[in-house]
Amino acid sequence: MTTLLVSQTNGDKHQTPQGHAERPQRLEAIANALAQPRFSALSREAAPSGDLALAELVHSAAVLNAIRETRPAEGIGQIDADTFVSSKSLDASATALGGGLRALEAVIMGEVHNAFVAARPPGHHAEKNRSMGFCLVNTIAIVARQAQRLYGAERVAIIDFDVHHGNGTQDIFEADPSVFYASSHQMPLYPHTGSPDETGVGNIVNAALKPGTGGDEMREAYRQLILPALDNFAPDLILISAGFDAEKRDPLAQLEWTGNDFAWLTGKLMDIADKRCSNRIVSMLEGGYDLGGLASGVGAHIGMLMNGQADSAPEET
Contact positions vs Zn ion (CB under 5 A): 162, 164, 243, 245, 287
Q: Which is nearer to Zn ion, 37 or 188 (CB)?
A: 188
Q: Which residues are catalytic?
A: 125
Does residue 188 have a cis bond before it (omega within 30 degrees)?
A: yes
The DSSP string of 186-199 is: ESS-TT----TT--
Q: Which is nearer to Zn ion, 236 or 286 (CB)?
A: 286
Most distant CA pair in the chain, distance: 50
Q: Which residues contact 315 (CB under 8 A, 6 or more apart)?
A: 258, 259, 260
117 contacts 284 by C-beta, under 8 angstroms = yes
The total of other beta-carbon atoms located within 10 Å of residue 307's CB is 16
Cβ of residue 125: shortest distance to Zn ion, in angstroms? 8
Cβ of residue 52: shortest distance to Zn ion, in angstroms? 22
- Taking the C-alpha atoms of residue 162 and residue 16, their distance in angstroms, rounded to an integer, is 20
Nearest Cα residue to 298 out of 3, 33, 28: 33
The total of other beta-carbon atoms located within 10 Å of residue 19's CB is 6
65 contacts 58 by C-beta, under 8 angstroms = no
Nearest residue relative to Zn ion (C-beta) = 287
- Taking the C-alpha atoms of residue 214 and residue 111, their distance in angstroms, rounded to an integer, is 36
Cβ of residue 2: shortest distance to Zn ion, in angstroms? 29
Q: Which is nearer to Zn ion, 159 or 272 (CB)?
A: 159
266 contacts 301 by C-beta, under 8 angstroms = yes
Cβ of residue 53: shortest distance to Zn ion, in angstroms? 27
Q: Which is nearer to Zn ion, 42 or 246 (CB)?
A: 246
| Cα angle 230, 172, 103; round to 5 | 65
Q: Which is nearer to Zn ion, 21 or 234 (CB)?
A: 21
Cβ of residue 189: shortest distance to Zn ion, in angstroms? 9
First to last CA, the chain: 28
Q: Helices 61-70 & 89-108, crossing angle to 10 degrees?
A: 140
Q: Which is nearer to Zn ion, 276 or 301 (CB)?
A: 301
Cβ of residue 102: shortest distance to Zn ion, in angstroms? 24
